[in-house]
Each structure stands twice: as C-alpha cells, then as structure tokens.
Amino acid sequence: MKKSLISVSALIILISSTFLSLGCSSQTRVALGMAEGKLQPCPNKPNCVYSESESETDAENFIAALNISNHPSRDAMSTVAEIISELGGEVTTQKDHYIAATFTSLIFRFVDDFEVRLDTEQRLIHFRSASRVGTSDFGVNRKRVNAVKQSFLQRLPQ
C-alpha cells in the first residue's frame, strides 16, 4: 500500500512538473505576426484556429472571419482590443489593421497567442488563435474566437 501511494505521488509530481515546465516555456515565445499582409497559417496541430485558410482541406483549423460589410469599420479594431481585454487577454501590439494579444491559463500558465487582422478591402476581420505549446487545446482557441465575434456583434447598433 505504501509503495503504491509513493508511486502515485511520484507520478502526479512528474506530470505536474511537466505541465509547469511547458507553461514556463510557452511564456518565452512571441506571436508569429503577419507575413505578406496576412496572418500566419496554423501548424498541423488541432490547437490553432485560423480564418485566412486558402485550403478546404484545413477544416480542422478553419474558423470563419467576421464580416463587417454592413457595419462601420473605423472603430472595429479598438472594439476588438477592448473585448480581448474584457475576456482576460493582454494586448501586446495594437496597430490600425493588426492586433496581437496573449491569453494565459490560470493553473499551468500556458500562453496562447491571439491575432487579429482587419481586411479593409473585403471588410472582414480575420483571426488566428493558437496555443504556443502542446497539441490539444480542448477547443479553447475556437471558443475564444467565437466569444470575441459574438461580443463584437452584440455591440453593434441595431
């Protein structure tokens, strides 16, 4: 009985240490930023969502952009930045057409990158939300983008 308790305790400590180490390593990285005027695509992992996908085979990572064609866009990015902060994110870069932010999990301090790009020609707001480490995010990034989109739409005048 005593050996089992020691083994289980050691396993719990090992798993917790691994997660804490991954959480710490995720804090040292930075958002990818844009390339050729677009947000960077997702890696081949399910812990990322991306609205600028050009391939229909990337359904696992695809999330629809927010269409703002019927709404004024002059304040769109400041509204998105405000929503990010309200949802617990930290805006690290804010420009006219680009926002980079981070969200940090409470327990193991995992950092997720959240990026937004305003496409003024097509009147779309594009999103990229990705975990910096690991493979699975249990759908957190997709839920986060949907929460931002929903909150944005609720703020528009009817």
Q: State the CATH number of the domain containing residue 109.
A: 3.30.310.80
Q: Is the pLDDT of residue 10 over 80?
A: no
Is residue 115 within 8 Å of 65, Cβ to Cβ? no
User: Residue 132: helix, strand or coil by DSSP?
Assistant: coil
**What band does 104 get if pLDDT is binned at 50, 70 and 90?**
very high
Mean pLDDT of 88-104: 95
The CA dihedral of 82, 33, 58, 48, to the nearest 10 degrees, is: -60
Q: Please name the helix (run of DSSP H) or strand (run of DSSP E) that holds residue 114, with its range, or none.
A: strand 111-119
Q: Is the pLDDT of residue 152 over 90?
A: yes
pLDDT of residue 2: 72
Mean pLDDT of 28-37: 71
What does the alpha-carbon distance between residue 108 and residue 124 come to, in Å, rounded to a whole number? 34
Give the tens place of pLDDT for each residue, 71-93. Answer: 877 789 999 999 999 999 999 99
Q: Is the pLDDT of residue 25 over 70?
A: no
Rounded to the nearest integer, the mean pLDDT of the chain is 84
Give the residue numbers spanning the domain of 134: 2-155
158 or 121: which carries more pLDDT confidence? Answer: 121
Residue 116 CB contacts under 8 Å (≥ 6 apart), including other chains: 77, 80, 84, 98, 99, 101, 125, 126, 127, 128, 148
Q: Report how many domains make up the chain.
A: 1
54 or 22: which carries more pLDDT confidence? Answer: 54
